[in-house]
Amino acid sequence: MAERSFALEVQDLRIGAGETFRGEGILAITKALLQSGVGYVAGYQGAPISHLMDVLSDAQDLLAELDVHFESSASEATAAATLAASVMYPIRGAVTWKSTAGTNVASDALSNLSSGGVKGGALIIIGEDYGEGSSIMQERSYAFAMKSQMWLLDPRPSLPCIVDMVEKGFELSEASSTPVMLQVRIRSCHLHGTFVARDNRRPTMTLDEATRSPQRDLSRIVLPPAAYVQEAEKLEQRWPAAVQYIREHRLNEFFDQPDADVGLILLGGLYNNTLRALMRLGLADLYGKTDIPLYVMNVAYPVIDDEVVEFCRGKKSVLVIEEGQPDYIEQAIGRILHRARIDCTLHGKDMLPMGGEYTVGVLTDGLRNLFVADAPDLLDGMARATNQPPITCAPQIAALKDSVPARPAGFCTGCPERPIFAAMKLVEKELGPHHIASDIGCHLFSILPPFNLGATTMGYGLAPASASAFSGDSRRKGRERKRTIAVMGDGGFWHNGLTSGIGNAVFNKNDDVTIIVDNYYSAATGGQDIPSSRSTPASRSTHHPISRAIEGVGVKWVREIDHTYDVGRMREVLSEALTTRESGPKVIVASSECMLNRQRREKPLKRKALKDGKRVVTQRFGVDEDVCTGDHECIRLSGCPSLSVKPSGDPLKEDPVASIDQSCVACGNCGEVADAAVLCPSFYRADAVVNAARSERWKHRIRSALIASVQQWREARRPVFS
Amino acid sequence: MTVLSRKNSVAVATKPISIAVCAMGGQGGGVLVSWIVSLAEQCGWIAQSTSVPGVAQRTGATIYYIEIAPADPAGRMPVLALLPTPGEVDIVMGAELMEGGRAMLRGLVTPERTTLLVSTHRSYAVEERINPGDGRIDPAPVYDAAAFAAKKVIAFDMEQVAKEARSVISAVMLGALAASNVLPFPRKAFEDAIRNGGIGVKPSLAAFDRGFARTTGNTPEPARPVAVKQAVAPFSPSGVADFDALLHAAAGLPSGAATMLDAGLRRVADFQDIAYAAAYLALVREFALKERAQGVPALTIEAARHIANAMAYDDVIRVADLKTRRTRFSRIAAEMGVAAGQPLAITEFMHPRVEEVLGLLPSGLALVLEKTGLGRLLMGRFLRRGWRVRTDRLRWFVLLSITAELYRLRPVSLRHKREMRHRDEWLDLTRAALEQDYDFGVEVLRCRRLVKGYSDTHVRGLSKFDRVMTAVGVMVDRPLPQGKAAVWTRLLREAALKDPEGTALEAALARFQRGAMA
């Protein structure tokens, strides 16, 4: 079950020609796929395209009606390989993932796919996670397009343009027998807007039809000598075909002013922010009318030499606007201009920063630099020089630097992973620090305060592999070593951790500890189901225990903890794993359901039960503030958002006391930690019973009456003063 | 050479209205954004919103961004930006005080243009919460910055208003936005946007209404958070004659310390008995007599505070007492919102160590058990795991009540003996320090703040306290130039509160050895 349901929104995917579609970028892309007569869709979730997978998952009824096959792939490599269905058959296919992380994983399949070429349109929708809010290393997907010779589309962030590019992308792919990548930036995926829809189309050939008349063509398989022929074909046939299609269908846009002598060459994805920067300089209006000639490359790769020559000819200078590095496009254009002997100054990273997101502010500065240098008459005094220093230089604002605390993302309230790391902290106190290899996933938040655990993260499902160099037999005489700990999520485990991590550890006789955090979902990407999920979705096969897979590849020492909130048990098991004399990899599977998902599942049920007058227990934890001494050790072992501090209200206590707010979901972590770490007796859990049976209410009444009489008796003998 | 000139420049009359919502993941910022988008669209405007979900969803700071523009009569579509630009934002909505601060730090709030709507409640960041002392950041600079940077500020505790309406902060924020009159839409359109959203409509509308009223009404938020007020005046009679006599006596001490003296007397009497409180008062009086003539009676205040804390230490008896009180039961019932007669279970998480239980026993016996290791042998088995104590069950309740009644035996217990010795050593040092200089004495008293927590935490706190006291002892024996001793004591104490492991304290002590004592 995914984090967000699109059940309502997917109904909009049914609208027909002429109707206006309103919604987010990801829904628009889905609609565009259906309008293009796609035959199958696959992918692997991850921001910013997690929601695209969720939309497709929620739209399965509609997809089935249209004979469109949909798969949640095991990894991006799986998704890329799925496109093989378009190699021999004229069936359109689309796959999607987060880039560049996912493209790295998929690149083996992509190389083979692009070498052999495709018959049916093959579209790879990549969520380019670059710039502010990104969760991965800052790289560009551009290199993959270049090295494998796949075309890369980068549409303007407007829904009509994105939809158009999806449809044209398939046509371009078919016209040039080449897979096409379409990149959408993180904010485009979640961009709300409108476009005019077309009818959905069924695929011209279904996958079932293809299986009934299988095709094979040796020349499409990457095997010498076909591979050499394919290289020549790429250069001599597919490239020119692509260029021809791109030119004929005007995928790139010219917003030209014939008498201007300074122009901008920009990627489609940067159009909106560039226009806003021009508007700030008084050179464009809100509707995109501008004095400056623009060449908008909705096709980032290949660069169309003739179009560049055409645009630059007669201009004094051009500025290439491409985000990130290396400056691939600027280099390509330099080559084009040089070869065509066009005397036009080429600007790019000399005016704009080499790295980082091109925000409106950054672009405004870059464009101002350009115009001041090459077209000073364009700018009026105001725009030319900003005499006023930015407000952030004012002392009142600069002072905020010391006041505003950092607020990185962290574990949610009630997260079942928190107690695992609390236990790890406690073990650290006993056995000293260990080298901890982290992975990709929610558990990576353990590297932040208050836990401060984890040394490296090398990729999805790669934690055990990233600790493998340290491996060895801890019992060998004369060799003193400390076991390493690798932490990997269930998402990463099924993505590739089973083979690259666990299988590798068994085979190489590793002696170290791996913790697999099983929260029933691929939680970090939005709570999608995976093979070990405990839910039972109609279209997937779940309930495949991780422990059986691990034992299957040969791990002997496996411990399962089915309630991670038991901090004491968690600590014992981890301690045992680190100290046992048994050799071979030690794997702990720590399972408890992701609290976000659990709440989403349980809350409606509870609401309904309350409405129906059924017995419901509401739980919350609390802190007795008169018992709490304000040392905050509990918070250092937890970091739960609902466990915070508040003024003590007691003049005798200077420091704030711990306090649990209404958002508490009664996971029990704080009580368990207080117990396991022998902290303090301040924590309590209160269970209120709603709609209790009469007998239960009577029992409680009698008990309360007796307790009250003892309390009164004691108060009478010993007055209470504070 | 430039062919182009300003003449044929395009008109730059129309600008979109730009709105940035600065929130923490999980606060419902997405809902607020969808309301604003729906509001604009139903009024015939073009709206574009962007956000970055992903990991920012999980309690991290995040920015949602909206641009809206009136529909063009010519049917052209506006080109809207994807990120807020400093100097170009009309409305900044901060869903928490520091998130408002972060928006200003990013330059999004400017005096020419920006209306800042910010909730003044605090949701403390991890770095503020994990400090062993008080790590909370002073919010005053945010208020100062808002007054400087914004064209208009609407600030109140929207979280509290939401709570009162049993709804979410986003609905209150929408109410404040509607009332701010920055957007050219009527109030009804805002309400319709909530209705069209379809989820939790009724409470959301109620919260919207309160947010609106709070913004238009003349109930501005006090500029700064105010200190907690004392509910009752100090020295109000308790009805117990002997105790009231003590209160009366205390009223004769410097009046600036009244609140603290009152709290201290009550705490100590509550901890043991009235005679114990009388002993407390005698000790405080001794220091009050050395009070300076003018200014805040710091010595009396700190003596009243910290001697009370030293005398009303946290032991098993006190915890059992606090856990079984009538007032506690009714407080929890109120917090859980249970009606009379509705079943309510209370589970305590208790994990006393052998040391705590031994401390309860008469000191002679306890010392034997402690020294021979017999105590651990006998009791260790029962105390290895924590207890889940059900205070609402008679069995446990009676057991805890009996434990609480053990206060009668407390004066002869090992723990009490140790605590008193420890207190007296500290007060002796204080007296010696006072003879040198007033401020030094006050600072030594304040070091008591380091002793807190239970079990291991308590041991760690105590060890920090003792290390600082050792340094104080050195300064008592070898007087430093005027004022230096007080400064060093303060520095050492502050260092001890910086981190739980005492790393900062070690460094400060090393500096002390090299600097002061060189």
Q: Residue A166's domain is classified under what CATH number?
A: 3.40.50.970
Chosen domain end from A575, A597, A619: A597
- pLDDT higher than threshold 50 for residue B470: yes
Whether B344 and chain A come into contact, CB under 8 Å, resolves to yes
A273/B270 touch (CB, cutoff 8 Å), yes or no: no
Per the prediction, chain A carries an average pLDDT of 94
Query: Does residue A375 belong to any structural domain of this protein?
Result: yes
Q: Which residues of B touch A276 (CB under 8 A)?
A: 79-81, 85
Average of per-residue pLDDT across B24-40: 91
Q: What is the ipTM of this complex?
A: 0.93
- pLDDT tens digits, one per residue of A406-439: 988 889 999 999 999 999 999 999 999 999 999 9
Averaged pLDDT, B30-44: 95
- CB-closest option in A629, A707, A719 to B394: A707
Q: Residue B39 in contact with residue B60, Cβ under 8 Å?
A: no
* pLDDT of res. B230: 52
- A156 vs chain B: nearest CA distance in angstroms? 10
CA of B173 vs chain A CAs: smallest distance (Å): 19
In a domain, A649, yes or no: yes
B219: contact with A, CB 8 A cutoff: no
Determine contact, residues A679/A666, Cβ cutoff 8 Å.
no
Report pLDDT for A265.
Answer: 98
Assess if residue A642 is contained within a domain: yes
Whether the CB of B25 is below 8 Å from some CB of chain A: the reply is yes
DSSP string, B109-154: --TTT-EEEEE------HHHHS-SS--PPP-HHHHHHHHHH-SEEE
Q: Is the minimum CB–CB distance between B160 and chain A shorter than 8 Å?
A: no
Task: Give contacts of B 368-407 with A, CB under 8 A.
Answer: 385-386, 391-394, 397-398, 401, 404-405
Q: Are residues A338 and A440 in the same domain?
A: no
Q: Is A675 at the interface with chain B, CB within 8 A?
A: yes
Q: Is the pLDDT of residue B8 over 60?
A: no
> Nearest Cβ partner of A400 from B59, B62, B142?
B142
d(CA A557, CA A512): 11
Selecting from B53, B131, B137 the residue whose C-beta is nearest the C-beta of A190 gives B53
Closest-CA residue in chain A for B228? A649
What's the confidence (pLDDT) of residue B1?
30
Quickly list H helices, A118-184.
142-148, 159-176
Contacting A residues, span 219-278, partner chain B, CB-CB under 8 Å: 257, 259-261, 271-273, 275-276
The residue from A597, A616, A646 where one domain ends is A597
What pLDDT, on the 0 to 100 scale, is given for residue B3? 34
Query: CB distance A711–B391 less than 8 Å?
Result: no
Q: Average pLDDT, stretch A112-116?
A: 97
Q: How confident is the model at residue A263 (pLDDT cuts 50, 70, 90)?
A: very high
One domain, residues A171 and A62: yes
Q: CATH number of the domain that A331 lies in?
A: 3.40.50.920
Q: What does the pLDDT read at residue A662?
A: 86
Whether A411 is covered by a domain: the verdict is no
Chain-chain contact of A47 with B53 (C-beta, under 8 angstroms): yes
Beta bridge mates, A486: A437, A514
Which residues numbered 5-24 in A keep a CB inside 8 Å of some CB on B?
Answer: 22
- Interatomic CA distance for residues A651 and B264, integer angstroms: 9
A188, A400, A639 member nearest B145 (Cβ)? A400
Enumerate the residues of chain B whose CB falls inside 8 A of the CB of residue A45.
none
- Looking at the fold, whether A237 and A150 belong to one and the same domain comes out as yes
Asked if A430 and A531 sit in the same domain, the reply is yes
Contact B456 A677 (CB under 8 A): yes
- B249 shares contact with chain A (CB less than 8 Å): no
Q: Cβ–Cβ of A283/B10 closer than 8 Å?
A: yes
Mutate to test the interface with B, among A407, A425, A704 (most CBs of B within 10 A): A407
Burial (0-12, 13-18, 19+ Cβ within 10 Å), A596: buried
A100: cis peptide before it, omega within 30°? yes
Give the strand pairing for B344-350 and B387-390: antiparallel
> A232 lies in a domain?
yes
From chain A residues 69-128, the ones with a CB under 8 A of any chain B CB are none
The fraction of chain A above a pLDDT of 90, given in percent, is 86
Specify whether the CB–CB gap between A112 and A142 falls below 8 A.
no
Judgement on whether residues A232 and A109 belong to the same structural domain of the protein: yes
User: Please, which pLDDT band fits residue B5 given cuts at 50, 70 and 90?
Assistant: very low
Q: How does residue B218 score in pLDDT terms, banded at 50, 70 and 90?
A: low
- Residue B302 clears pLDDT 90, i.e. is over it: yes
Whether the per-residue pLDDT at B226 is higher than 70: the answer is: no
Residue in B14, B34, B58 to test binding to A, most A beta-carbons within 10 Å: B58
Does A631 contact B461 at a Cβ distance shorter than 8 Å? yes
Secondary structure letter of residue A406 according to DSSP: P
| Residue A2 predicted with pLDDT over 80 | no
**Residues of chain A with C-beta less than 8 angstroms from the C-beta of B338:** 688
- Does any CB of chain A come closer than 8 Å to the CB of residue B452? yes
Domain annotation covers residue A697 = yes
Same domain, A236 and A257: no
- What type of residue sits at position A473? D
Taking residues B458-473, what's their average pLDDT?
95
Q: Do A648 and A556 lie in a common domain?
A: no
Q: For residue A679, what is the domain's CATH number?
A: 3.30.70
**pLDDT at residue number A480:** 83
Task: Give, in degrees to the nearest 5, the angle at Cα B410 between B405 and B416.
Answer: 150
Given A185, A406, A712, which is nearest B125 (Cβ)?
A406
The distance of B518 to chain A (nearest Cα, Å) reads 33
What percent of chain B lies above the pLDDT cut of 70?
A: 93
pLDDT confidence bin for B517, thresholds 50/70/90: low
Instruction: Give DSSP secondary structure letters for A613-664.
Output: T--EEEEEEEE-TTT--S--HHHHTT--TTEEEE----TT--SPEEEE-TT-
Provide the pLDDT confidence category of residue B6 given band limits of 50, 70 and 90: very low
Query: A680 contacts in B (CB within 8 Å)?
Result: 453-455, 457
Task: List alpha helices for B130-256, DSSP H.
Answer: 140-149, 158-164, 169-180, 187-197, 201-216, 241-250
Residues of chain B with Cβ-Cβ distance to A568 below 8 Å are: 385-386
Q: Do both A82 and A198 map to the same domain? A: yes
Catalogue all structural domains in chain B, each as residue range(s) with its CATH number. Answer: 14-216 (3.40.920.10), 413-518 (no CATH)
Predicted pLDDT of residue B54:
55
Give the one of B81, B273, B336 whose C-beta lies nearest to A688's C-beta: B336
Helix ranges, A340-478 (H): 360-374, 381-384, 395-398, 418-431, 463-466
A281 and chain B in contact, CB less than 8 A:
no
What is residue B9's predicted lDDT score, i.e. its pLDDT? 38
Do A436 and A345 lie in a common domain? no
Interval B410-420: pLDDT, tens? 999 999 999 99
Question: Does residue A402 sit within a domain?
Answer: no
Q: Which residues of A touch B392 (CB under 8 A)?
A: 700, 703-704, 707
For chain A, the domain total comes to 4
Q: Residues A142-159: pLDDT tens digits?
A: 999 999 999 999 999 999
B237 at interface of A, judged by CB pairs closer than 8 A: no
Residues of A within 8 A of B107 (CB-CB) are: 390-392, 397
Å between A139 CA and nearest CA of chain B: 18
Give, as one character, the DSSP assignment of residue B73.
Answer: T
Residue A579, domain extent: 418-597
Contact B452 A261 (CB under 8 A): no
Report, as an integer, the average pLDDT of A516-525.
93
Same domain for A573 and A621: no
What are the tokens at B177? Answer: 């936005």
Question: Averaged over B4-31, what is the pLDDT?
Answer: 72
pLDDT at A508 over 80: yes
Residues of A whose CB is below 8 A from B267: 652, 721-722
**C-beta separation of B173 from B119 below 8 A:** yes
- Look at strands B344-350 and A683-690 and give their pairing: antiparallel
Between A247 and B2, the more confident residue is A247
Contact between B49 and A191 using a beta-carbon 8 Å cutoff: yes
**Span B387-407, mean pLDDT?**
95
The two structure tokens encoding residue A490: 């269930």
Residue A401 maps to a domain:
no
Give the A:B interface size as CB pairs under 8 Å.
Answer: 430
**Each residue's pLDDT tens digit, A282-302:** 999 999 999 899 999 999 999
Q: Percentage of chain A with pLDDT > 70?
A: 99
CA distance A121 to chain B (A): 30
**What is the pLDDT at residue B2?**
33
CA-closest candidate to residue A242, choices A296, A300, A201, A295: A300
pLDDT of B259: 94
A244 plus A261 within the same structural domain: no
Average pLDDT over chain B reads 91
More confident position, A257 or B305: B305
- pLDDT tens, residue by residue, A667-720: 999 999 999 999 999 999 999 999 999 999 999 999 999 999 999 999 999 988
| A243 and A264, same domain (yes or no) | no
| CB within 8 Å: A721 and B105 | no
B455–chain A nearest CA distance, Å: 6
A547, A571, A597: which is the final residue of a domain? A597
pLDDT higher than threshold 90 for residue B12: no
Token pair listed for A324: 């990130």
Is the per-residue pLDDT at B354 higher than 60? Answer: yes
